[in-house]
Structure 1
Amino acid sequence: SLRIAVQPGGCSGLRYQLFFDDRSLDGDVIKDYNGVGVVTDRMSSPYLGGATIDFVDTIEKQGFTIDNPNAGSSCACGDSFS
């Protein structure tokens, strides 16, 4: 499963952590999107409501992108949000 967490950090205060994880911890929210398991912890879930997560693979960019309507602002480098 793909685990998505929101942690303190970055110049805007919060940053995403994405990694593959086979564990299921107490309080996790687990959803399936077209055969891909997505796991969030109880504390991160409110920050991710309504967010769109995609994987981009182009010449200019490769990796996960997150479009989050809950993010009020983000830093210039795009690494963190508030």
Structure 2
Amino acid sequence: MTEQVETQPELRTDGINLSSAAAAKVKSLLDQEGRNDLKLRIAVQPGGCSGMRYQLFFDERDLDGDIVTDFDGVEVVVDRMSSPYLNGALIDFVDTIEKQGFTIDNPNASGSCACGDSFH
């Protein structure tokens, strides 16, 4: 009898990554909104307790220089200024007794705050 090992898709280093759990949650939220023109926008802005903070929100806009990536039918948009900060980052969704929400594992961050919403 052979043991089956579940393999994770290789993470891309030249763009953003969205886990299948996060894609499923985004699809569910978009279904609740009842709109098919929205994309998940991920941006990096100055601020937060560590210097830079993440923003995740639904957006219908198309901005000049946007990088759009499709994950299981979910379009994820990153503006060109945020892109270098997010290359190789993994957006995941956790739902445990301790925590529920989107998480960002970013190899570009040299440190982060306790809340996990900002980095440097």
TM range (shorter): over 0.9
For 1:24-66, what per-residue CA distance to the aligned partner results, in whole angstroms no more than 9, with x for missing partners?
A: 1111110101111000101000000000111112222111110
Match for 2:54 among 2, 16, 19? 16
Indicate yes or no: 2:112 matched with 1:80: no
**SS of equivalent residue, structure 1 residue 5:** strand
Indicate yes or no: 2:84 matched with 1:46: yes
Indicate yes or no: 2:65 matched with 1:2: no
Match for 1:66 among 86, 93, 104? 104
**SS of equivalent residue, structure 1 residue 12:** coil
Normalised by the size of structure 2, how large is the TM-score? Answer: 0.65
User: RMSD of aligned C-alpha atoms?
Assistant: 0.9
Of residues 52-61 and 32-41 in structure 1, the stretch that sits farther from structure 2 once superposed is 52-61
**SS of equivalent residue, structure 2 residue 119:** coil
Identity of aligned residues (%): 80
Bigger-Rg structure (1/2): 2
Normalised by the size of structure 1, how large is the TM-score? Answer: 0.93
Q: Which runs of 4+ in 1 moved over 6 A?
A: none
Matches within 5 A, 1:21-40: 21-40=59-78
2:31 is matched with none
Unaligned residue ranges in structure 2 (runs of 5+) = 1-38
**SS of equivalent residue, structure 1 residue 47:** helix
The alpha carbon displacement at 1:79 in A equals 2.1
Name the structure with the higher strand share.
1
